[in-house]
Amino acid sequence: MTSIRMVSSVLLLVLMQSGALCARRFRGGRNPQPRRPPPPPTYRADRGDTTESFPLDFTAVEENMDNFMTQVKNLAQSLYPCSAQRLDHDMKLNLLENTSVTCNDGSPAGYYLKESRGSRRWLIFLEGGWYCFNKENCDNRYDTMRTLMSSSNWPQTKTGTGILSPLPEENPHWWNANMVYIPYCSSDVWSGATFYSVLCVGGYAFMGSLIIQEVVKELLNKGLDSAKVLLLAGSSAGGTGVLLNVDHVAELLEGQGHTGIQVRGLSDSGWFLDNKQYHSTDCLDAVSCAPTETIKRGIKYWGGVVPERCRQTHEGQEWNCFFGYRVFPSIKSPVFVVQWLFDEAQLTVDNIQLTGQPVQESQWRYIQNLGIELRNTLKDVPAMFAPACLSHEVITRNYWTDIQVKGTSLPRALYCWDRSLNDNRNNKAPPKGCPVHLIDSCPWPHCNPTCPTIRNQFTGQEIDGVQFLKHMGFDVQKMAQQQGMDPSKLLGMLSSGS
C-alpha cells in the first residue's frame, strides 16, 4: 500500500506540474494562439535524448493494481489534451542493420518502433498474412501481395491500434509499453532460416525465425536490455509464429546474459487444427490446400525450424509443431492463447464458405463440430480467451476491449494473467475474481452478444446474432426440439448469449 501511495504522490506532482505548464501556456484573455507557430519537436535516436519524460516503472506496483491502474489511466487522459501536440504516437520504421537478414526478395527486413521512455515493458508484435509453399504460389503472392514479401514499399511510420495503441482508453494495461511491430515479409509462418544468398532454385529467402532474433538483438541496444517483461505477440500466422518462437527468444536473451527479462507469449488466432476438410480440393495454394499438406510442403521449402522439444517429440514429422495443441505442451515460456471458436481462416481452409446461400445441414454440423474440437484442444491451456464468434484476429482491432467471455473483457483477462504471473514469482496466492481461463460454452457461431458486428456482404447492413444464424440456415424449430425447449425460449437465449 505504501508503494501505491508513493507512486500516486509522484503522479500527482507530475499532474500539478503539467497543469501549471498548461496554465502558463494558455493564461490570459487574449487569443491563446502564438504569433508564430513554435518549431516542431525534434527527436533523437540516441538514448541520451533530452525530451521531457517521467521515468516511472509501473510494473513495480503489484498490490491493489486495479485502483492504481485506474489512477494512471485518469492521469494520462487528463494530461493528454495538454501534451497532444508534443506526442508522437506513430511507430517509426527501422530497417535491420544486418542486411543479410532479409525479406523473401532479398530486401532488408525491419521493424517499427515507438519507445516509451521510463517503461520497462516491451511488446513485440508479429504480423500475420498466410504463407506460400512452392515457387508457383510464391510467385503469385509476390505479384499480388508484394508488401508481404518485400520491404521496398513499406511506409515510414505505422499507427498502433488495439494492444499496440498508446492511448489508455483503447489499451488500458499496455498503453505505456515500448511498442515494436515486425512486418511479415518471409511467407513462412515465422519459421524459416534459409538465406537469400544460398538459394540456387526458387529465388526467395525464408528467414522469419532469423528476423525475430535479429530484431531482438538490435533492440537490446535501444533499451530492451533493461526490460522487466517482454511480451511476444502476434495474430494469425503471427500468432502461430509466437508459439514457434517464444522459447527461442527467451533462450536468446538468456544466452546474452539477460536472465532478468521475463519473456511471455500472446498468440491471437494462430491456434489452427489439422482436421479433415469439409470437402477436399486440389492443393493449389494456402487457402485451398489442407492445412497439414501445406505445412508438410512448406517446412521443407522454407527450411523451417521448430522448438527443439517439439522437434524431439515429433522427429521426422516436425510439421506437427505448427498446430497449437501439438506444440503447446513443449513450450516453457508462459503463453496466453486468444482464439475464436469459429475462426474464419480455419473455416476457409476447411472449405466452408459462409457467404451467399444459407449453409447446408451437413455444413452446419461441421461448423458446430469445429467449435467442439477447438474447445477440447484448449481445455488444458491455463490462460486463454475463446469467444464463440465467427471472426479472425482481435488484439489489434480497436473494438478488442468490447469482446467479453462470461463478463470478462480480453484486456481484463490479460491483466489478470499478468498479475497472476507476478504473484506466482512472489509466492503469493492468485487474485480472486480475476479469471484467466475463459471459454464460451454456447454452441453456435455468434451466440455471444459481444461478438464483432457482422454485415451483410450485399447490403452492408448490420446483422445481429439471431439474424445471422437464420441466414446460415439455422432451423430454430428443429434445434429447439432437439434441445427439448420452446422455440421462443431458444431465440431468447440466443439473443442474450446464454
Quick one: which H or E segment has residue 291?
Answer: helix 291-302
Contact 212, 180 (CB under 8 A): no
* 236 included as an active-site residue: yes
The DSSP secondary-structure symbol of 266 reads E
What's the CA gap between 302 and 134, in Å, rounded?
9
Largest CA distance in the chain: 78
Contact criterion met (CB below 8 Å) for 148 and 167: no
DSSP 161: -
Choosing from 173, 248, 258, 392, the catalytic residue is 392
Type of residue found at 357? Q
Whether 197 is a known active-site residue: answer no
CA atoms within 13 A on the CB side of 232: 28
Q: How far is residue 388's CA from residue 469's CA, in Å, rounded to a whole number?
A: 13
DSSP one-letter code for 108: B
Taking alpha carbons only, the member of 308, 312, 336 closest to residue 324 is 336
**Contact yes or no for 319/305 (Cβ under 8 A):** no
Catalytic residue among 188, 247, 343, 440: 343
**Helices 65-83 and 410-425, packing angle to 10 deg:** 120
Which one of 107, 186, 209, 236 is the catalytic residue?
Answer: 236
Q: How far is Cα 260 from Cα 275, in angstroms, rounded to an integer?
A: 40
Instruction: Count CA within 13 A, CB hemisphere, residue 23.
Output: 6
User: What is the rounded CA–CA span in Å between residue 401 and residue 119?
Assistant: 22
Q: Dihedral sign, CA of 443, 449, 454, 455?
A: positive
Taking Cα atoms as reference points, which of 99, 191, 111 lies closest to residue 154?
A: 111
Within 145-236, where are the H helices? Answer: 208-219
Angstrom CA distances, 497 to 110, 446, 450, stand at: 43, 8, 8
**Exposed/middle/buried for residue 80 (C-beta within 10 Å: 0-12, 13-18, 19+):** middle
Helix, strand or coil, per DSSP, at residue 270:
coil
SS3 readout for 111-160: EEEECCCCCCEEEEEECCCCCCCCHHHHHHHHHHCHHHCCCCCCCCEECC
Q: How far apart are CA 30 and CA 226, in angstroms?
A: 47
Q: What is the distance, to the nearest Å, from the Cα of residue 373 to the centroid of all Cα atoms in its chain?
A: 23
The phi and psi torsions of 124 (rounded to 5 degrees) equal: -110, 120
Residues annotated as part of the active site:
236, 343, 392
